[in-house]
Structure 1
Amino acid sequence: MCAAPKQGQKLPAGVDVEKETVLTGQVLDATGNPVAGAFVRLLDGTGEFTAEVVASGTGDFRFFAAPGTWTVRALSPAGNGEITVSPDANGVFDQDITVAK
């Protein structure tokens, strides 16, 4: 079993989104339903593994990163999927991942 932290929709208290870059979203299946328990990985611009979390019961995930180019990859029994996110400043960047077999 993976020791990645469970995720939720709310940001922790004290997070200053003017000073932090937050990558967030929801893992969805091909019909738009949330995929709970998906392993969501953060890869840097060179494709190197950086972090992993487990999507919440509603498919939510969250990473604290830095401006730059990131790949967010979801792996689950419902299928796999990935997105590229390129935040150029601090703030919350919300983008969902659709998985398919």
Structure 2
Amino acid sequence: MTDGCGAPAQTASLPATVDLNNEAVIQGTVVRGGDVVSGAYARLLDATGEFTGEVVTSDEGVFRFFAAPGDWTVRVLAPGGVSIDSAVTAQTGEVANLEVAI
């Protein structure tokens, strides 16, 4: 089975094929009461609030985006009508890590 967008798997560790010299990565884990939340939606919004992309959290509760450097918002939509926004800054050569508690 292949991924529709060709993106690396949403795993806790960054795939070895990712060259951080050329990438700005935003990743995180969604948790509820200390437990990871799989099947939540993580949306990436640009600085103007426009929708840019969406992924579903993995079995480990992980989401990951490859983004242009700059300011972003990650909006997590989880079962039960929960919606949480987190501001984050992406920089080439770095992984911006978030833990989103719902």
Question: Would the TM-score normalized by the shorter structure come out above 0.5?
Answer: yes
Structure 1 segments, 4+ long, off by >3 Å, are: 3-6
- Letter of the 2:42 partner, please give it: V
Unaligned runs of 5+ in 1: none
What is the TM-score of this pair, normalised by structure 1? Answer: 0.83
Match of 2:61 in 1: 59
CA RMSD of aligned residues (A): 1.9
Match of 1:71 in 2: 73
Per-residue deviation, 1:82:
1.7
- Letter of the 1:8 partner, please give it: T
After superposition, residues 37-52 of structure 1 pair within 5 angstroms as 37-52=39-54
Given candidates 19, 27, 37, the residue that maps to 1:24 is: 27
Could you tell me how far apart the structure 2 residues matched to 1:82 and 1:34 are?
Answer: 17
Give CA-to-partner distance per residue, 1:24-56, whole Å, 9 cap, x none.
Answer: 110111x22111100100000000000000000
| Count of aligned pairs between the two proteins | 96
Maintained 8 Å contact 1:42/1:70: yes
**Change in 2 beyond 3 A, CA 1:14/1:58:** closer
The answer to whether 1:91 aligns with 2:94 is yes
**Residues 81-90 or 40-49, more deviating:** 81-90
